[in-house]
Structure 1
């Protein structure tokens, strides 16, 4: 288990300044008519607990992790009021470990009804009093190497999760999108997710969030209506490619 070492004053200042710049960009987009309550999720994958603590001391509370064991280790030693988002590929055999994290706030990568039901079962078996927030991941680009339910199956999957998973609360839709799409304006993956969200809202009357956009395109995602953006390198700097 990782031991938390207090961040150096220089690193604290660096992360705080980067966080201020990202927050300012989020505010600018909101003032220009984007979603009024956009959430910034600081993606701390591969970053030490000290870096997370520096961002926490600067007021950040929502953090995203890609690996279950890394998330478990960090959650055990960092402040209990952090709101953790799991944003990595959800493996069936990891649902129990995720459900054991006391301050898990959301799983953003539910890519099938089957995995939703496994997560629901694990969450209820852990005796959690409130439903776990989840996002249905949609493969808007149709790429074989991308996780997520196909666009054409998303509506049925969303309904099934809502109807059959009492321990889960469907907060919204999430996409990663393609590298090519991130270079286009408007980004076709974001446009597809917005359209799908609007269709689901009209059909169900439920309010759904949009989790889309990362360091390179989060401002554009906000312009198109994202309510949650996942930003890592713009806050913490470049990260290693292996654990």
Structure 2
């Protein structure tokens, strides 16, 4: 499908290209991040901003809201690789599965939601499996989504045994504000140690605009960067 979105002004395009180049160079130059993936978080940004980043070679984009992802996917190039990084609701699985170029859902937080997404993906008739990450609540914050660390092994097992249309790619965490100011970041260490304890070759999706460089130092294979590329976001309309 050809894009129907328009590029932004030349000034805005130059700004996004420069920001993306800076972040991309930092990711590529990290000594511990051979092949690390940069996911440009484009939530609440117009499709024109995404197209500017796309024109610079960026292909992986992250969205937090299902409706927004669906709307953008309908007007942007079909070879974009969309990551859903918002809190997953069971009743939104069908809508997500309808996006043909959905590349990954990074916020699986229960066995039940994994099965729901698996069934929705199968019902949508995709011939390939869907990449998923298990979100882990490494900080123990009550208001934060994710599986408790002690429950991760059970979700891993459930995906492997009963979700044949899902491909478990890795573990994901959103670090706490307190943790982001500490070195080493305890949330990132927790995710890495949990991955190692599972004895599986899983990716680590961790690190955002303020701490992605440190996350790469601790072994992140995928970082989710928004404001460093697109600038600050306006509040979501109520």
Give your verdict on TM over 0.5: yes
Count matched residues: 235
Which residue matches 1:92? 90
TM-score, normalized by length of structure 2?
A: 0.97
1:132-191 CA distances to partner (integer Å, 9 max, x unpaired)? 000000000011000000001111211111111001000000000211001100000000
1:93 & 1:124 partners in 2: Cα distance?
16
Structure 1 range deviating more: 49-58 or 4-13: 4-13
| 2:39/2:222 contact within 8 Å kept | yes
Give the TM-score normalised by structure 1: 0.95
Gaps of 5+ in 2: none
Question: What is the DSSP-based 3-state SS (H/G/I as helix, E as strand, rest coil) of the residue aligned with 2:177?
Answer: coil
1:216 paired with 2:216, answer no
Alignment of 1:96-107 (within 5 A): 96-107=94-105
CA distance in 2, matches of 1:92, 1:157: 16
Instruction: Supply the distance in 2 between the matched residues of 1:208 and 1:69 (Cα, whole angstroms).
Output: 29
Counterparts of 1:1-243 in structure 2, within 5 Å, are 4-29=5-30, 32=31, 34-200=32-198, 202=199, 206-243=200-237
Residue 116 of structure 1: how far off its partner (Å): 0.4
Q: By how many angstroms is 1:216 displaced?
A: 0.1
Structure 1 runs of 4+ with >2 Å offset: 3-6
